[in-house]
Amino acid sequence: MFRAMVDSFAKLNPRTMVKNPVRFVVEVGAVLTTLQLVRDTLHHTGMVGFGLQITVWLWFTVLFANFAEAMAEGRGKAQADTLRKARAETRAHRLRSDGAIEEVPSSKLRSGDVVVVSAGEFIPGDGEVIEGVASVDESAITGESAPEPACKRRPRHGLGPARTDIFFAEIFSFASIVRR
């Protein structure tokens, strides 16, 4: 949260603010009312109280908007880091041609590999269910809160935990996920 507060002040740079026209206009208004407040204070006019209220509210609005954006950016970066870490640590149960199952790191999977996924396990890569049925939590990827049903010949995205049953999935487009 401290980092977001620091970033909210760093985002006051007009070159950054001009990317969001509404916040930029509010910032320009805050600067102008601040200058007006300083002028009124130096000339002892009776409008100092009203000018101070407007100036404080405008600066509060700009800083709060910057803070909210910085928090969202920080949360997004943290989720992306978690997904990258999960990708590196996910183990897969690959079905060999002789029918035996071997445990391998998901980074060793290639397009066409068949993996066995049990309830509670993470799906090690993008693929297609070729046998069995399950419900898969893809919320980290899709943003949906409810698990999606996984059934035969329906594409699945990796990294979500399987909810029920055991199913077999054929991996495809694995190289598009892991950048080498």
The string of pLDDT tens digits covering residues 134-166 is 666 666 666 666 655 555 544 455 544 554 445
Residue 20 DSSP label:
S
**74, 100: one domain:** no
Residue 128: exposure state from Cβ atoms within 10 A (0-12, 13-18, ≥19): middle
Query: How many domains are contained in the chain?
Result: 2
Of 28 and 134, which is predicted with more confidence?
Answer: 28
Residue 101 shares a structural domain with residue 80: no
Query: What digits encode the pLDDT tens for the residues 58-74?
Result: 999 999 999 998 888 88
Tell me which of 90 and 49 has the higher pLDDT: 49
> Looking at the structure, do residues 56 and 35 belong to the same domain, yes or no?
yes
Q: What is the model's pLDDT at position 105?
A: 84
Q: Are residues 76 and 127 in the same domain?
A: no
Q: Quote the CA–CA distance of 179 and 172 in Å, as a whole number.
A: 15
Note whether 99 and 142 are same-domain residues: yes
Three-class secondary structure of residue 118 per DSSP: coil
Q: Of 88, 121, 154, which residue is a domain's last?
A: 88
Domain boundary among 72, 88, 104: 88
Boundary-marking domain end, from 25, 56, 88: 88
Structural domain boundaries enclosing 136: 91-176
Pairing of strands 148-150, 127-131: unpaired
Q: Is 161 left (phi over 0), alpha (psi -120 to 50) or beta?
A: beta
Distance CA 61, CA 28 (A): 12
Give CA–CA dist 115/105, Å, rounded: 12
Instruction: Say if residue 8 is in the same domain as residue 78.
Output: yes
**CATH classification at residue 150:** 2.70.150.10
Q: What is the pTM of this model?
A: 0.50
Mean pLDDT of the chain: 76
Same domain, residue pair 172 and 95? yes
Do 10 and 78 sit in the same domain of this protein?
Answer: yes
Contacts of 19-26 with C-beta under 8 Å, sequence gap 24+, read: 23/62, 23/65, 23/66, 26/58, 26/61, 26/62, 26/65
* pLDDT at residue 2, as a whole number: 82
Residue 102 C-alpha from the chain's centroid: 33
Regarding whether 125 and 62 lie in a shared domain, the answer is: no
Please give the pLDDT value at position 159: 45
